[in-house]
A and B are shown apart, each in its own frame.
Chain A
Amino acid sequence: MALRVSQIAKLLLGLWMAGVLVAMFAIIPQYEGLGNAGRIIIMHVPTAWVSVLAFGASAVFSGLYLWRHRPADDDRAVAAAECGFLFTVLATVTGAIFSQVVWGIYWNWDPRQTSIFVLLLIYAGLFALRAALEDINQRRQLSAVFSLFAFVTVPFLIFIAPRMAESTLHPNCAFLPGSDCAGVLIEEGKLNLLGDRVVQLVSVEQQGDTVTTQVLVREPGMQGETILMPSYNLSEAAAVEMPTFPGITYRLKIEDVDMNARSVRLNIEAPVTETSDARTRLTLLASTLGFTALFVWMFRIRSTLLGVQWQLDQRKGAVV
């Protein structure tokens, strides 16, 4: 009975992911300004999320191994780490494909790309460590400790480091309409990055309560540049003119002005309709659930195989 339920669940997962693919390519609307390249978010974000989940599971089972010293916990920790590594590679590859389409280059050592690369190196180190140690008890104990330390770096490398970086092309704001993005503070004459656009504050002029600015906007891949003139009302503390970026319907908005420092806070206003937003978000949620289930399935297969291998080794007398 349990086997039958398990088989049905796996078949449903197959159909579910096929449905996610159909929704990704044929149902959700294009991202404004990004065309079909934006659809890759449906694969990219869930794989990155599942990699965090998998590395977390690996750390939990490593902790359990150190506590209980059961070989099955070590098998599960390794299986989870391997799955996490695979999903991180998928997130990196889908990100690189997006990067090629939007920025014109597969890899440019953006803070987000660099941090995920470091994460891959850390977990590659775990596998190298396991391969290097012959004594099985030593291998299990050291890799469990390594896995715990490796997981400490995961939140930092995935969530914190890319956000600490002052310049990243990773489009957090441009991709997620309604997300709480603080925008960028920019002084007169200086450059900064807003989503996937390079912006330069050329001038700031005040006439009465209205502050008018000239902002030079460079398109992704440096394919073109335009001067936009957003403005701001000081007495109402509200944006007045919000010009659209060239070729897309995102708008450039001034959120705050400091005339003493001659600086403004610029942000992206993303006019996405409620319907299209809901479809995209639902597909993203469905994809995240599907990838999580896929991870659980792969994790179970791999840990079962590692357990079988361990039992066979024991029977052969290869392991003392």
Chain B
Amino acid sequence: MNIALEAGVAIYVALAVALTVWIGVFMYLWKLDAQARALQQQLRQQPEPEQRPTPTASLRAQRPDDTPVVSGMGNRSRANTIRGRHTRAGNACT
């Protein structure tokens, strides 16, 4: 018969197993706790990223003689460009 299962020994085997499980759980929690705090600390130290600029679009209608007729929003020097990822195609009139 396995000695670990004998009456009087089995209870200590069970105790050893339970202690081993607890030590494992405790170490896991300790490590997780440290990692969570480190992450939180890192986030606090890092400056907030700048707000992503709101997508803008410029609209300019042009006559054949290159005289501007309508100027839309945005930088006039870049009036011929359409900026911003979220600009819908419908806004882009050239």
CB of A237 closer than 8 Å to a CB of B: no
Chain B, residues 1-32, CB within 8 Å of chain A (1/0): the string is 00000000001101100110011001001101
User: Do A297 and B43 form a contact, CB below 8 Å, given A18-B19, A26-B15?
Assistant: no
CB of B67 closer than 8 Å to a CB of A: no
Choose the segment among B33-41, B53-61, B68-76, B78-86 that binds chain A (4+ C-beta atoms closer than 8 Å).
B33-41
Give CA–CA (A18, B24) in the complex, Å: 12
CB of B49 closer than 8 Å to a CB of A: yes
Whether the Cβ atoms of B43 and A311 lie closer than 8 Å is: yes
Smallest CB gap from B43: residue in A: A311
How large, as a class, is the contact surface on chain A? 20 to 34
Give CA–CA (A14, B25) in the complex, Å: 10
CB of A202 closer than 8 Å to a CB of B: no
Whether the Cβ atoms of A14 and B26 lie closer than 8 Å is: yes
Shortest C-beta distance, B29 to chain A (Å), equals 6
Give CA–CA (A298, B52) in the complex, Å: 36
A10, A308, A317: the one contacting B43 at CB < 8 Å is A308
CB of A102 closer than 8 Å to a CB of B: no
Q: Which residues of A contact B15 (CB under 8 A)?
A: 21-22, 25-26
Choose the segment among A151-159, A206-214, A299-307 that binds chain B (4+ C-beta atoms closer than 8 Å).
A299-307
Q: Which residues of A contact B32 (CB under 8 A)?
A: 301, 305
Closest 5 CB pairs of A and B: A25-B15, A304-B36, A14-B26, A308-B39, A21-B18
A to B CB contacts below 8 Å, 26 in the list: A10-B30, A14-B22, A14-B23, A18-B19, A21-B15, A21-B18, A24-B18, A25-B18, A26-B15, A36-B11, A297-B29, A297-B33, A300-B33, A301-B33, A301-B36, A304-B36, A304-B37, A304-B40, A305-B36, A307-B40, A308-B36, A308-B39, A308-B40, A308-B43, A311-B43, A317-B52
